[in-house]
Structure 1
Amino acid sequence: MNISEDELEQRLRALFADERLDLPPPPDAGTVIVAGARRRRRRRHTVQAVAAVAVAVVAVSGGLTMIRLHTEDGTAVMSADGTESSVKPPENLTQGRPPEPSTPGPTSTHDIQVSQTPGSPPSKTPQPSAPSPSKLPPVVTGPQLDVDGFGTLKLGMSDAQIAAQGVTLSNANPVAACTVYNASGGGVPAPATIVVSKSAGLLAITPEQAVHTAEGIGTGATKEQVLAAYPGAKEQPGLIVAPAATFEFQFSFDDSVVAHMTLSVVNANCAG
């Protein structure tokens, strides 16, 4: 049967206008569409967050071969050189069904496993560092040289006062307005060389054997130990001068260790 184009067009229009061909949407179509969009948006955010964390960990660890992050919502795997990257979304997020609650485990939500880069040298066990100068054992060889004297010898004493302490003075050697003596006897813990001024009395005491100070610095101590024990000390060529109350200690060195110690009046001189 032959029909004209106009008649065919009219029949098609009538067919498409037939209400029996309409498919009305179900009553909950809007809710289903919104829920699906939310699921897709949540899944996309989860994937982006996991991938971002994986990239950050790779940047920090540098030479690590593989970093795995396991989360409640997905898994991201990335190699150190960035050549491989994959993200696994949650398996329980299917269309039309809300995510099933996960059972909390004894570990945290992020479990990071790190392996060492192949061919990299094994990590070295840190060696114990050398103790700081303030931690070094004190040097307490011989008797103690106090901040004001040595035994019964006290800075400022005159010749007569020193002799009255039972100290024997010998080998007198005049130097300008002072006299240098060798002091020995029961009044001193060990023989010493002393300098006595006619006007200011006893100016300096230099023991002739190993001694130490109350701060644990003695013959054989290093420069570092001296500076650590006396923060206000000043270095001079071959000498360190450290304050001690109203007096001062002078440490002379031989082979980088204390060889002799002198207790003296600050700015002592024999000019007269």
Structure 2
Amino acid sequence: MNISEDELEQRLRALFADERLDLPPPPDAGTVIVAGARRRRRRRRSVQAVAGVAAAVVAVAGGLTMIHLHTEDGTAVMSADGSEISVKPPENLTPGRSSQSSTPGPTSTHSLQATPPPVSPSSKPPRSRPTPSATALPPVMSGPLLKPDGFGALKLGMAEADVTALGVTLSDPQAGASCTVYNAQGSGMPAPASVVISKAAGLVVITPDAVAHTAEGIGGGSTKEQILAAYPAATEESGGVAAPAGAAAVYHFRLGETGVVQTSLASLNQDCAG
């Protein structure tokens, strides 16, 4: 059956207007609604009261904990039973300023000794350099070289004719009983020198004019300690030190305020003084 929209609308209007569909409220509906609202209000208040009591319990427990912690810190506190405990606060605490040290000071009567901080490897005191001794000075290599057997081409034991044959000029002779002293210079000699020639033993003493040095590094400015270190068999003599120069000769080192000031070579096989 087909019904037009207008006819359907009219039927619906008539149906909704029918008084049989109305549900009248009961006579005590107002009283029931008011009583329900009151019950809900009392229940809400009970819940709020319980929540407040729980919050108070949590706050009291937290306060007791803070009291216990403050007691361990040594500050003025209130104990759990309500009695007051007066503890002197640290002297370095002022209002509005925190303590500079987080470590509480000692509260007992026992004395504490400060322990020095450990010494790290990087904080070791620097080692002082030892002062070089006189024997540790560098060897002297300045001046002409005076060898254990002679001076340049001049050799100990050479006769006077052999010396002049080298081209050496002998001058200013100072003759003695058996030996003569000359000033010698010329080819074959590193520097002018004073020489002593024995009639029997030949050339026996050579003393260079300039301070000569030896192969062991003893020369001008060397100290007595250096000489003794270079020549363990050396002995002190008047004005200096005598040191062996091989098996047939000896070095004579004359000492001054600055060390060695003259070096000479003398043969052990001689009949001349000096």
2:229 is paired with a residue of what secondary structure? helix
TM-score by length of 1: 0.53
Write the mapping of 1:204-219 to structure 2, written as runs, cut at 5 A: 204-219=205-220
Deviation at residue 164 of structure 1 after TM alignment: 0.9
What do residues 54-105 of structure 1 show as CA deviations (whole Å, max 9, x unaligned)?
Answer: xxxxxxxxxxxxxxxxxxxxxxxxxxxxx999xxxxxxxxxxxxxxxxxxxx
Distance 1:156 1:84 in 2: 87
Deviation at residue 124 of structure 1 after TM alignment: 5.7
Write the mapping of 1:41-52 to structure 2, written as runs, cut at 5 A: none
Write the mapping of 1:65-144 to structure 2, written as runs, cut at 5 A: 115=118, 125-144=126-145
Distance 1:189 1:167 in 2: 11
Return closer, same or farther for 1:209/1:115 CA change in 2, 3 Å cut-off: same
Distance 1:205 1:197 in 2: 12
Q: Is the 8 A contact 2:201 2:270 kept in 1?
A: no
Aligned with residue 248 of structure 1, among 243, 247, 250: 250
Distance 1:212 1:200 in 2: 25
Alignment correspondent of 1:172? 173
Distance 2:272 2:227 in 1: 28
Distance 1:216 1:208 in 2: 18
Deviation at residue 270 of structure 1 after TM alignment: 2.1
TM-score by length of 2: 0.53
Unaligned stretches of 5+ residues in structure 1: 1-82, 86-112, 117-121
Alignment correspondent of 2:153? 152
Pair 1:260 & 2:273 matched: no
Q: Which has the larger radius of gyration?
A: 2
User: Per residue, is there more strand in 1 or in 2?
Assistant: 1
Report the count of equivalent residues: 157
Distance 1:156 1:234 in 2: 24
1:227 is paired with a residue of what secondary structure? helix
Runs of 4+ in 1 over 3 A off after TM superposition: 113-116, 122-126
Distance 1:195 1:219 in 2: 22
Distance 1:268 1:257 in 2: 28
Deviation at residue 267 of structure 1 after TM alignment: 6.3
What do residues 5-26 of structure 1 show as CA deviations (whole Å, max 9, x unaligned)?
Answer: xxxxxxxxxxxxxxxxxxxxxx
Give the % identical residues.
48
Return closer, same or farther for 1:227/1:256 CA change in 2, 3 Å cut-off: farther
Give, as a single letter, the amino acid of the residue that structure 2 aligns with 1:238.
Answer: G
Distance 2:231 2:196 in 1: 25
Distance 1:255 1:135 in 2: 19
Deviation at residue 168 of structure 1 after TM alignment: 0.7
Deviation at residue 123 of structure 1 after TM alignment: 8.2
Deviation at residue 126 of structure 1 after TM alignment: 3.3
Q: Is the 8 A contact 2:220 2:260 kept in 1?
A: yes
What do residues 130-171 of structure 1 show as CA deviations (whole Å, max 9, x unaligned)?
Answer: 224443111111111000000111000110010111111000
Q: Is the 8 A contact 2:150 2:265 kept in 1?
A: yes
Distance 1:153 1:252 in 2: 22
